[in-house]
Structure 1
Amino acid sequence: MNFVSLDPALQPLIESYLDPTNRALLAPVLNALGADAAQRLGPLAETADKNPPVLEQFDREGERVDAITYHDSYRELSRAAYEEYGLSALSHRGLHGWDDVPPHLVKYILSYVFVQAEFGLACPVSMTDAAARTLRKFGAGRFEEVIDRLTSVDSARRYTGAMFMTEIQAGTDIARTETVAERDGEEWKLSGRKWFASNPDADIILTLARYPGGDDTTRGVGLFMLPKVLPDGSRNAYVIDRLKDKLGTRSMPSGEVTLNGAYAVQVGELERGFRQMAEMVNTSRLSNAMRSTALMRRSVNEAVAHARKRVVFGRPLIEAPLMRMTLLPLQAEAEAALGMVFFAGDALQRADAGDATATQLIRVLTPLAKHYICKRARHVTAEAMEVRGGRGYIEEWPDARLVRDSHLGSVWEGSSNVIALDVLRCLRQQGTHRLLAETMTASLEAVELPEAGDDVRTLLHRWEAITVRGDALLAGPGADAEALIGRYADALAQLVMATLLLTQADTEATRDGNFRKLLVARAFIALNILHDDEVAPEALAHLEQIIDGAVVSRDAVASPTPVV
């Protein structure tokens, strides 16, 4: 088994977004990881899920140690993620043959394959990456050694990172943060309680605290770097009160932490602490969407494997018409999500290079992807589990773990309502619904495939309508906009994904002579945009080719999608 070869959408997207040099460097490590994730890392993840970490608060002498003990399976997974594949380092240093930092997409692609084996560990990996990015951006050159160790692949040197934001009364409403910072010479001491802290024994923590003289808004909250070990080698002054008993991500610890005058170093400008922390949060939010996409892909793989093997009433289950209609939307959702992750990752690359339009795009694409993809992962994993029937509900199979883990994406780094309101903020501040419409419309107008003409006109019509709808949303009462933004964000995300599927279909048909992606695009448009089951019969007829990534001829797409 190889998770890369099982994915029909991955390689064509890589060809579309990465140049030949980057593709050549990526290919060997990606193929190695694809096999490793399926054959070694997947079983390790199942074992780690069943053997969660344990907190030892005191040693046998009664001294406070707050040591977390991990199962060997999790330790091996950590070595693979941080050291062998360097997932937290890929946005910061050259690895795997790259002399310089590879494109952001390389990290997202490799992480997407890794997460199909292990989801929980990807959270501290992402936070480690994001902590290094945040310290580099706002640390004014003060944290070079810390950044070097956060991005190291050397087992003797590497650090892991975390962010402690959530308090009992201050999850969404950061202005209510009660943790306080007091001056201690050139540095600070922090006191307070963080209620939900993942990777609580991280080496480097970024956290928020109120500073003297700050107001009662988010501008009164500063950003601080808190090391686990002090410069003199002693433990910092905070304790882990307990670990959380979670629905999913059981392999990775989350806990409650109390800061007792903990040593901390200020990061950036005090009054901009929340905005600076938002850089870390937004990076993690995009990773959340990527991880949810990976769960979709793994769950679809499991459902397809079962449907092909299971014989019911004398024929393989995959030949049953209703089962085909069950599998097709799951496949289309997984491919649509992956296309959006690629597009967002590429936009982030261009934004980091100074592209102002890309900066606006990634600002809205990040919450859009997190809002829609993470929530849809719950549906896709649950439907895929049901394909396996009673077996899927049993923990010996991976389906139940995938379902449990899938619920995290919609909660972590802001629940769906919080994320939807962030989309609304983007619309109000920058009119990004219009920017998306302009960008997607330009892509659709560049489609040259004659067979896609009606599909293009369908989506162009929908972009006009959703732009008008967005304008009306912004012009109406504020309370109405807040009430309706969740549904609007979903519709906007679906339209982005439909457009990306169709433009990729144009690329693959022109470049490879393969019309497979056009069938996928039509299925997604029919089921998610037009809400009509009857306009994608050709996709159902060619389901095996869609699943396997086989070549689909031009004749198979002769029936156009009607314009609505």
Structure 2
Amino acid sequence: MTTFSETNVTHPAPHRTHTVLNQSVPRTDVNEFTLDTVLSEGVRRHDADWATAELTDIGELVGSATFQHDAELANTIIPELKTFDRWGNRIDEVEYHPSYHRIISAAVAHGAHTSAWADPKPGANVARAAAFMLFAQIEPGHSCPISMTNAVIPSLELQPNVAAIWKPRALSRSYTPELDAPGKASAIFGMSMTEKQGGSDVRANTTVAKPAGRGGPGADYLLTGHKWFCSAPMSDAFLVLAQSEGEGGEGLSCFLLPRILPDGTRNIFRIQRLKNKLGNKSNASSEIELDGTVGVMVGEPGRGVRTIIEMVARTRLDCVLGSASGMRQSVAEAVWHARHRSAFGKVLADQPAMTSVLADLALESEAATVTALRLARAHDEDASEQERSFRRLATAVAKYWICKRGPHHAYEALECLGGNGYTEDFPLARRYREQPVMAVWEGSGNVIALDVLRAMTREPDSVAAFDAEVNLARGANTVLDAHLDRVRRQLGELAGLDPADAQRRARTVVESMALALQASLLTRFSPGAVADAFVDARLGPDRSHEYGTLAPAADLQAILSRA
């Protein structure tokens, strides 16, 4: 009996069912910074040109196939809760895939967390924003603890004895994932405010803080209660809110809660479960229970919201940055695919219908990026009082609008890839699930719209500063001028309404303000083809609800050349 293994037998030739043709090549080993015309222009425009070399290095890193593979691994081999060790000791740890630690370590090493605090100067927050956006473009989950570590600094500085210990650790460029590593000199921060019964209404919190001694600012307290959302529970320390008791002062107060106590023992920090989230899979979010957990009061008793709002304001800016970076990823992937695939005898990107969609997506992305970097510059240390007033209102307005635009933008980009886009093998499915989180975190739509109303009432200078900023573009476009008039009229009408009517109008006015800001900035900073197309598409009489409906006169190729 003969077999195929015998040398004198002729083997049958294999038959191929097909050859893979007309698929786009992998978008890997590209420099995400040097390819991003809008981002690199903004860095130069806003006094951060000195950071170009490092941002170029970051762009090469995050555009590499290795980094992209780590991003995929971190979101498919997701964090796992380890409540006990093998011997039955309660450890309350979350185990991440090593890819996650490689990503966050690189972000920390490049200062995407606190570089602007470590070396404050003109453009410092712009450089930090660009670094943050480049990392978040490829892997957004890790940017949650990166953002919170950046945002915690102004709250820490309200309590000098606490800042003296923790600020140097937050500014460190090293990353050590183990909580109790010997000699650990760095720290990643988290924040936990919401509880089951209150959600955004943090004044309904029931967690109690009892003083371990006399109490008061900078003193130790013992906290007992629960937190409904605690992201990045393996952070080294957290800012939390609790109802303080005792002679040190009563009311909702802010506390710094370390995972490891000064004597090296573990603080009581019981992770009840990890949240099963729609997206943001690489970043563990949890429910936690506190039971006599040690915390140090930060700021004045009863003024916890005022203390932690410093942190919230910065994380809201990072929600804008994160949404803008997601839009950039969506546009980059959609355009790449369309330029490497043909249909009906033409490259997809040259098909007029597709060209219009891609250009419209690029317009949205450019508007978000230009706005994000302008806001970042307003957060620098040299900001004038007018700049501070502007950023108070404009950050909330941008957070509301840009974060809401993110999910539909991601969907439309995903559709450009057809069936491939709907599969988890391509990054836009993950991006589509990721984008809603920026709109939900740090204040959902209604919370942000109401915050805009609050700012208008309590800080009228912020309205004047916002008006001054957007009207810098007056006279360049009659459609924009008409919209600027409309915004002024809406703001005036809003000021005369009773609270209930003002709340009902809030979303309408905030949307108008956001579009005024974006159109003004594009008119001032972007090429005419971009600005004119955006104004016509978003403010003109023939504006539409969907992407890909740009005016016939729009210079689509000029817009796409920047994508």
Distance of 1:530 and 1:410 partners within structure 2: 26
Structure 2 residue aligned with 1:188: 221
Corresponding residue of 1:145 = 165
1:502 equivalenced with 2:520 (yes/no): no
Query: Does the CA contact (< 8 Å) of 1:93 and 1:101 recur in 2?
Result: no
1:354 Cα deviation from its structure 2 partner: 5.9
Q: CA deviation digits over 1:59-86, x for unaligned, max 9?
A: 1111101121110111111111112x12
The answer to which of 334-343 and 473-482 deviates more is 473-482
DSSP 3-state at the match of 1:414: coil
**Which residue of the partner structure matches residue 468 of structure 2?**
438
**d(CA) in 1 for partners of 2:280 and 2:405?**
18
**Any residues of structure 2 matched to 1:393-542 within 5 Å, and which?**
393-431=422-460, 432-441=462-471, 443-445=472-474, 455-505=476-526, 517-532=527-542, 536-539=551-554, 542=555
1: CA distance, partners of 2:85 / 2:108: 28
Contact 1:368/1:489 (<8 A) preserved: yes
Cα distance in 1 for residues equivalent to 2:342 and 2:417:
12
SS in 2 for 1:287: helix
When residues 521 and 101 of structure 1 are mapped into structure 2, their CA distance, relative to the original with a 3 A threshold, is closer
Partner of 2:56: 31
1:532, distance to aligned residue in structure 2 (A): 2.2
Corresponding residue SS for 1:410: helix
SS of 1:92's equivalent in the other structure is helix
**Contact 1:91–1:101 (CA under 8 A) maintained in structure 2:** no
The CA deviation at 1:8 is 2.3
SS, match of residue 63 in structure 2: helix
Distance in 2 (CA, whole Å) between partners of 1:549 and 1:410 is 27
Checking the alignment, whether the CA contact within 8 Å between 1:223 and 1:268 is kept in structure 2 is: yes
Once the two structures are superposed, residues 174-194 of structure 1 have per-residue CA deviations (whole angstroms, 9 ceiling, x without a partner) of 110110100101410000000
- Aligned-residue CA RMSD in angstroms? 2.0
Aligned to 1:555: none
The AA in structure 1 aligned to 2:188 is T
In structure 1, the residue matched to 2:392 is 363
Deviates more, 1:410-419 or 1:315-324: 315-324
- TM score, norm. by length of structure 2: 0.88
- 4+ runs deviating over 4 angstroms: none
Shift of 1:125: 0.3
Q: Which of these two proteins has the greater Rg computed from alpha carbons? A: 2
- SS for the counterpart of 2:302 is helix
**Which amino acid in 2 is paired with 1:523?**
A
Aligned counterpart, 1:70: 96
Distance 1:477 1:363, change over 3 A: same
Is residue 314 of structure 2 the alignment partner of residue 301 of structure 1? no
Q: Alpha carbons of 1:101 and 1:348: their partners in 2 closer, same or farther (altered >3 Å)?
A: closer
Q: Which segment is superposed worse, 284-293 or 460-469?
A: 460-469
Displacement after TM superposition at 1:268 (Å): 1.1
Aligned to 1:255: 286
Deviation of 1:320 (Å): 1.7
SS at match of 1:142: helix
Distance 1:354 1:140 in 2: 23
Quick check: 1:112–1:294 contact (8 Å CA) kept in 2? yes
Aligned to 2:111: 86
Which of 122, 128, 135 is matched with 1:107 structurally?
Answer: 128
Given that 1:6 and 1:548 are in contact with CA atoms closer than 8 Å, whether structure 2 keeps it comes out as no
Which residue of the partner structure matches residue 353 of structure 2? 322
How many residue pairs were aligned?
Answer: 513
Residue 271 of structure 1 aligns to a residue whose secondary structure is coil
Q: 130, 137, 143: which one pairs with 2:151?
A: 130
> For residue 80 of structure 2, what is the aligned residue in structure 1?
54
Using the size of structure 1 for normalisation, the TM-score is 0.87
Contiguous gaps of at least 5 residues in structure 2: 1-29, 176-183, 214-218, 544-548
Aligned mates of 2:465, 2:370 — CA distance in 1: 19
- Measured after TM superposition, the shift of residue 141 of structure 1 is 4.1
**1:334-383 deviations in Å (ceiling 9; x for gaps):** 0011111111111111xx44622111111111111110011101111110
Structure 1 counterpart SS, 2:162: coil
Task: Tell me how far 1:433 sits from its aligned partner.
Answer: 3.8
Counterpart amino acid of residue 192 in structure 2? F
| Amino acid corresponding to residue 225 of structure 2 in structure 1 | G
Aligned to 2:415: 386
Check whether the contact 1:140–1:268 (CA below 8 A) recurs between aligned residues: no
Match of 2:142 among 121, 135, 138: 121
> d(CA) in 2 for partners of 1:53 and 1:371?
30
Letter in 2 for 1:91: A
SS at match of 2:477: helix
Which residue of the partner structure matches residue 205 of structure 2? 177
Local SS of the residue matching 2:265: coil
Tell me by how many angstroms 1:458 deviates: 2.8
The separation in 2 between residues aligned to 1:101 and 1:346, in whole angstroms, is 8
Deviations 1:375-405 (A, max 9, x none): 1011111100011111100000001000001
Deviates more, 1:266-275 or 1:279-288: 266-275
CA distance in 1, matches of 2:122, 2:345: 54
Deviation at 1:434, TM superposition (A): 4.0
Per-residue deviation at 1:48? 0.6
Alignment match, 2:231? 198
Letter in 1 for 2:466: L
* 2:338–2:349 Cα contact (<8 Å) kept: yes
Q: Which amino acid aligns with 1:60?
A: R
Identify the match of residue 7 of structure 1 among 29, 36, 47. Answer: 36
Report the CA distance between 1:238 and its aligned residue: 2.0
d(CA) in 1 for partners of 2:298 and 2:384? 26
Q: Distance in 2 between matches of 1:537 and 1:180?
A: 62
SS in 2 for 1:206: strand
Q: Per the alignment, in what secondary structure is the counterpart of residue 116 of structure 1?
A: helix
* Identical positions, percent: 34
Give 2:259's aligned residue: 228
Structure 2 residue aligned with 1:449: none
Residues 8 and 547 in structure 1, CA contact (< 8 A), matched pair in contact too: no
2: CA distance, partners of 1:436 / 1:91: 24
Amino acid of the structure 2 residue aligned with 1:176: A
1:242 is the counterpart of 2:263: no
Q: Secondary structure at 2:87's aligned position in 1?
A: coil
